[in-house]
A and B are shown apart, each in its own frame.
Chain A
């Protein structure tokens, strides 16, 4: 239990050791810890930013989805309108065509009829002459009675 020269030896050992520890242990570890702290903070900030970005993107996606839906609904409505228009037009065309065909048919029928009645009329006059010839027993001069025959034919 004495104080001896060992004290100075110990003092030197401790002093050197403190310098050594500062140089090779304390500062590297403190720097590492600080680095890690800042990097963790940066990482968290980046994550936060990413989260925000994702939210923004989500919002944008929703917006675009909404506008796309509206656009498609528009398109569908337009298409439907166009389709009904086409159908209407086709209907109108069909009706027109039908009318045209009907008119043509009517005209043809009328023509046919007038042609038939003409023919009939001419035949009737011939028939009337031959009937009259048989009744009268003699030949009728068709040219002499042409006027009367024509009147007859017109009456039928």
Chain B
């Protein structure tokens, strides 16, 4: 039903789809903490709930001798993540593994919402809203949490805070400050050290900030681009171009599966790598 105007007004269609369902109206500036996007939050909570429920079910009924069904799959993933963590970050503490697997699975789940037909969930929500007397044209719903900067930066911020935590844990607070002063340009003599310190501080701050921001933007960019392409394919509508939409949509979905898993894997891998780096002792330059 929403396809008909979509073809006649493609810009409006896409803009409608890119707008979040929010509490507090549209965000006024780039950073606006007065706004809360309930749609992506709800989807995230539901996905987290499904993941937690399945994990709980499997975790409670572990059969050590004859693993079946979901236990096999989860064992496989846990073993894979555990091996990755062990390879990259050998003396990882007990939290790195759960962190990595949660990021891996959650990013995969959130990205997978991209495969769900772009109009399905928004139409469903609009339909439900219209039952309660809300104009369906003003109901916005964005189903993919990772096409939103909030989600990817939330993950990035989490990693950022953990990097600081592990830095201080392994190097001590003074060591952490020393890292800013003596890294990346090292010097032997004290005067040279003092001269290089401002440059070091600037470089290290950029380096540390670049880590979470690049992670967040990478995931966001990949998923947003994928979502946008699905929207463009959806513009073909249900008329004579329907076969083209089906063919292109299927092709892009198949290709996108790779992106979904790859991005989740990259995010997990970078998290472990950064935390591994943060846990190294301060080298004596």
Contact = CB atoms under 8 A, between A and B. Distances in A.
B242 to A, nearest CB: 31
Interface stretch (A13-21, A138-146, A147-155): A13-21
B40 A30 contact: no
Main SS at interface, chain B: helix
B150 A36 contact: no
Contacts of B22: 4
Interface residues of A, number: 33
Contact of A20 (B55, B62, B82, B149): B55
**Counting chain B CB atoms within 10 Å of each CB, which of A3, A5, A10, A15 scores highest?**
A10
Interface in B99-133: 99, 101-103, 105-106
A15 B79 CA distance: 22
Contacts of B158: 11, 14-15
A22 interface: yes
Contacts of B154: 6-8, 10-11, 14
B149 A26 contact: no
Given A21-B52, A30-B97, A2 B102 contact: no
A10 B150 contact: yes
Interface string A46-84: 000000000000000000000000000000000000000
B2 interface: no
A1 to B, nearest CB: 6
A18 B22 CA distance: 26
B44 A29 contact: no
Interface stretch (B23-31, B167-175, B253-261): B23-31
A33 B67 CA distance: 11
Interface string B73-98: 01100110010000000000011011
Interface string B210-246: 0000000000000000000000000000000000000
A25 interface: yes
A19 B101 CA distance: 11
B106 A17 contact: yes
Interface residues of B, number: 51
Given A6-B150, A10-B150, A21 B101 contact: yes
B60 to A, nearest CB: 7
B97 A4 contact: no
Given A13-B48, A20-B55, A25 B36 contact: no
A9 interface: yes
Contacts of B148: 6
A4 B74 contact: no
A3 B74 CA distance: 33
B48 A17 contact: yes
Contacts of B98: 18-19, 21-22, 25-26
A33 B36 contact: no
4 tightest CB-CB pairs across the interface, nearest first? A22-B98, A10-B154, A25-B55, A2-B27
Interface of B: 22, 24, 27, 29-37, 40-41, 44-45, 48, 51-52, 55-56, 58-60, 62, 64, 74-75, 78-79, 82, 94-95, 97-99, 101-103, 105-106, 145, 148-151, 153-155, 157-158
Interface of A: 1-11, 13-22, 24-30, 32-33, 35-36, 39
